[in-house]
Chain A
């Protein structure tokens, strides 16, 4: 298959996902509600936190925990819905394998970026999170989100036909995501504390390397997962 056909099919899968989501609002509503509820509950539960050296680390951990569980809620849906509504066979017969993966990966990325923006704004407003290095913070969140999406989209395809999908998704994703989360939390804490690029660059590179490794692995494995 040539690249223009692959791109056309990928775009079609992505646009179809966006259109379906805008009409059903299932994933959007679920993640937005989860994000708002989590941050509000944490802000009420913790109250005003004292300024300390650990505060950026606590804020970073809270942000990534909310992102992780919201991702568990939403990112598996792209494949689960195909199986639940039994549209997977029609898609399997018509669409190139890699176009399915890339289209759904792009959709998950857009969804997670929107969710990340929402969580970041809520954390700044409700948790009074101070961002001393905004550019590094944004890049860290973007790189972490990319890693989270590449790490979970393949797992979503694997668990879509299982009966206990939610449990299985968390069980399979969690070990895979631990290195990403540890790096993302530490890197985000550095950005919140205002560390310079010399210190922020290493976690960003690690997050991007993780995303690239997961992306390449997924491209190799997805055909087997999708076809079998």
Chain B
């Protein structure tokens, strides 16, 4: 994926409009940070970009070369994590990643799964059930879920909300790596994360 184009995107919940007529384009290598008060539609916008929700108006195009497809048709190239993203509590960390690799059709050796778990800070916990993970560890596994297939478009919703200081270092490393080969979109109100932004979007528009 070379770019994403948002054209006249609005998001309504019933009569309430939480996002109004957003238009922008993000190129590979760019990081967009979305801020706004609670309920302003940050998470909804990320879900729209992931193809998990339809916008009320407008459309999103995932551009590769001269072709643009909807996010729902580019999911193999999209990684998404959010505090409300839940993985399977009755499976281990390794089993969760193996399952999602298999359904995505990603050929990844077991050693690479363990390496990914190590990268997100879950060393030695690959074979523990997710039900035994702390909230911070569960959030780290969400990173692994989002990064498993090396997506071109990485969507991070409140990426450090449950993480300790080492977690912030993980976020920095993930954003820096993603910048080399893809697009990153972060929804956050943490000032430390706003410094990643090439494009900063508030509720009412691009700043």
Contacts and interface: CB of A to CB of B under 8 A. Distances in A.
B50 interface: yes
Q: Which of A13, A90, A99 has the most CB of B within 10 A?
A: A90
A7 B88 CA distance: 21
Given A16-B91, A19-B91, A20-B91, A90 B85 contact: yes
B196 interface: no
A227 B73 CA distance: 12
Interface string A136-179: 00000000000000000000000000000000000000000000
A96 interface: yes
Contact of A94 (B72, B86, B91, B100): B100
A187 B102 CA distance: 41
B143 interface: no
Contacts of B102: 8-9, 11-12
A86 B86 contact: yes
A20 B92 CA distance: 11
A92 interface: yes
B78 A93 contact: yes
Interface in B127-146: 145
A117 interface: no
Given A19-B91, A24-B90, A90 B100 contact: yes
A13 B100 CA distance: 9
Interface residues of B, number: 23
Interface residues of A, number: 26
Contacts of A29: none
Contacts of B75: 93-94
A224 to B, nearest CB: 12
B72 to A, nearest CB: 7
Contact of A9 (B88, B89, B105): B105
Contacts of B105: 1, 5, 8-9
Interface of B: 50-52, 72, 75, 78, 80, 84-91, 95, 99-100, 102-105, 145
15 contacts: A1-B105, A9-B103, A12-B103, A19-B95, A20-B91, A85-B86, A85-B89, A86-B86, A87-B86, A90-B86, A92-B52, A93-B50, A93-B51, A93-B52, A94-B103
